[in-house]
Amino acid sequence: MRKKTIEFPKCETCPKRTASVFCDLSEEEVETISVNKGCNFYKRGQNLFSEGSRAIGIHCIYEGKVKLTKLGIDGKEQIVKIVSGGDVLGYNSLLSQMPYNVSAEALDDAVVCFLPTSTFSELLDENKDFPRKMMQIMAHDTQDMEKRLTNWMQKSVRERLAEVLLLLHSRYQDKEKPQIIDVRLSREEIANLVGTATESAIRYLSELNTDKIIELKGKQIKILDKEKLIRTANIESV
């Protein structure tokens, strides 16, 4: 069997760049990034970086999905966020000059570019608009975290589960089958996203399946009645 040939992206022609923090860079700056970056292929389950390690650059996801996790005081993994093509990782640690506060693990096969600290710092120093864009991303991250913490305190597990499913469907909708969430998560991973025990996540997923709001086939989740799921999540829309 022939091995699959992996073609790593070029920054100059990368379709993900137009929706990323690098969208407004000059041709010269894009060329500098392209010359200095590296690219890596990660199999599902491989770590991009680990919580507590020192940041030596930023990671730009080109293809695939990556989960960001943090260990609780009990040693249990908590999924903080799921990211995909166009997302940039590691900038918080570089800007704060602190170790990574999360770990990053490939959820499926992924192609990820890596930009060393020196090149990233050069952009911050020489492009007056780039630091502002980074601040906007960090502010957005903070708002997302504040919203999530509020939900955790005010909503039931069933409501939180419904909201997580809606958010996953909103971002990772299967292009050929729009009702299906195009990300495969174990029941434990779903529980980590919701912030509950695996047994609770299984029970409420089963209830939503019985009520014909969703359909479960192994790790595949299909949204059957989006309006009912929105009402279950106790939100106005997604």
Q: Which domains does the chain have, with CATH numbers?
A: 11-127 (2.60.120.10), 153-233 (1.10.10.10)
Please give the torsion angle defined by the CA atoms of residues 235, 146, 148 and 120, in that order, rounded to the nearest 10 degrees. Answer: 120
Average pLDDT of the segment spanning 207-234: 96
pLDDT at 36 over 50: yes
pLDDT at 238 over 80: no
| Cα 28 to Cα 43: distance, rounded to the nearest angstrom | 33
How many CA atoms lie within 13 Å of 13's alpha carbon, on the beta-carbon side?
Answer: 4
Contact 214, 208 (CB under 8 A): yes
Average confidence score pLDDT of the chain = 90
Q: If pLDDT is split at 50, 70 and 90, which confidence band does 75 have? A: confident
pLDDT at 83 over 90: yes
Share of the chain above pLDDT 70, in %: 96
Q: How far is CA 235 from CA 167, 181, 188, 210, in A?
A: 11, 19, 24, 22
Of residues 43 and 4, more confidence is placed in: 43
pLDDT at 62 over 90: yes
pLDDT, position 7 = 67
pLDDT, position 6 = 58
| Cα 50 to Cα 77: distance, rounded to the nearest angstrom | 12
- Could you give phi then psi for residue 181, rounded to 5 degrees? -80, 115
pLDDT at 74 over 70: yes
pLDDT, position 87 = 92
Residue 84: Cβ within 10 Å count: 19
Q: How far is CA 7 from CA 41, 169, 226, 230, in A?
A: 10, 29, 38, 40
The separation between the first and the last C-alpha atoms of the chain, rounded to the nearest angstrom, is: 44
Q: If pLDDT is split at 50, 70 and 90, which confidence band does 17 have? A: confident
